[in-house]
Structure 1
Amino acid sequence: MFGLFKKKTEMEKLQDTYKSLLEKAHKASHQNRSLSDKLMSEAEEVAKKIDLLKK
């Protein structure tokens, strides 16, 4: 109840984005390899941002 209006931190938003991109890349890898590669590169960029926030 108390966490209902709690805003996500930047780290949580980036982690959600990273997870979403990985899932989309996996699904796309079965049909469109170039799209999958593009999504994986975007996920890597998000991972770099996460690493920078951790430091």
Structure 2
Amino acid sequence: MFGLFKKKTEKEKLQEAYKKLLSEAHKLSHSNRTAADKMMAEAEEIAKKIEKL
């Protein structure tokens, strides 16, 4: 309950975006491989930002 109003850090926001992109890329990989590859590239850019933090 005490964490209810806690603000998310930049790292937590990036990690959520990374997980979301990976799951969407996995779903797209079955139907549209080029779009999935683009999403994977975006996810890798986010992963680099996370490592810098």
Q: TM-score range by the shorter chain?
A: over 0.9
Q: Within 5 A, what are the aligned runs for 1:15-30?
A: 15-30=15-30
Cα RMSD, aligned residues only: 0.4
- Percent identity of paired positions between Structure 1 and Structure 2: 70
Query: 1:36 and 1:47 mapped to 2: Cα distance?
Result: 16
Match of 2:38 in 1: 38
Q: Partner letter of residue 33 of structure 1?
A: R
Mind listing any 5+ residue stretches in structure 1 that lack a counterpart?
Answer: none
TM-score by length of 1: 0.94
Secondary structure in 2 matching 1:35: helix
Structure 1 segments, 4+ long, off by >4 Å, are: none
TM-score by length of 2: 0.97
Mind listing any 5+ residue stretches in structure 2 that lack a counterpart?
Answer: none
